[in-house]
């Protein structure tokens, strides 16, 4: 639907660098929940994906904290990953492009994770 309305639109997937499914990274156990689990992958039509950006847990967490501190958005780690990836894509594409990032989660689901709180 997006590509019909916006033919120049590019769809960029985001996934944990620690556990990539679409891209290339290292195998491990990411803190970023909900991006590479079976539910999300069942909904993903990989034919629509133009690019994949790998985001480390550390960058996702730092960006989620930055969103809370600077923008007042109580977003979770998946949202932090999406915004981090969007910023990287924006750097690559330049000032004249519009970048949209979806913030799908809230920080409250991560409050019990000690590694996240530090």
pLDDT for the residue numbered 103:
94
Residue given tokens 């809230």 in the structure block: 106
Tens-digit pLDDT string for the chain (118 aa): 788 899 889 999 998 888 777 755 455 545 555 555 555 667 778 888 899 999 998 999 999 999 999 999 999 889 999 999 999 999 999 888 999 999 988 877 666 664 545 4
pLDDT for the residue numbered 118:
44
pLDDT for the residue numbered 25:
47
Q: How far is CA 78 from CA 4, 16, 27, 93, in A?
A: 27, 9, 18, 22
pLDDT for the residue numbered 90:
96
Protein fold of 2-117: Rossmann fold (3.40.50)
List the domain boundaries for the chain.
2-117
What six digits make up the tokens of 94?
Answer: 């330049």
Show the beta-strand stretches assigned E in 20-115: 51-55
């Amino acid at each position: 639907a997006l590509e019909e309305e916006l033919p120049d639109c590019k769809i960029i997937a985001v996934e944990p660098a620690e556990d990539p499914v679409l891209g290339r990274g290292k195998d491990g156990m990411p803190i970023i929940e909900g991006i590479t689990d079976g539910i999300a992958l069942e909904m993903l039509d990989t034919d629509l994906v133009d690019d994949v950006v790998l985001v480390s847990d550390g960058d996702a967490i730092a960006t989620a904290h930055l969103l809370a501190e600077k923008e007042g958005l109580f977003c979770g780690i998946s949202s932090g990953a999406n915004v981090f990836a969007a910023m990287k894509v924006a750097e690559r594409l330049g000032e004249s492009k519009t970048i949209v990032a979806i913030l799908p989660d809230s920080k409250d689901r991560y409050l019990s994770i000690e590694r996240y709180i530090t």
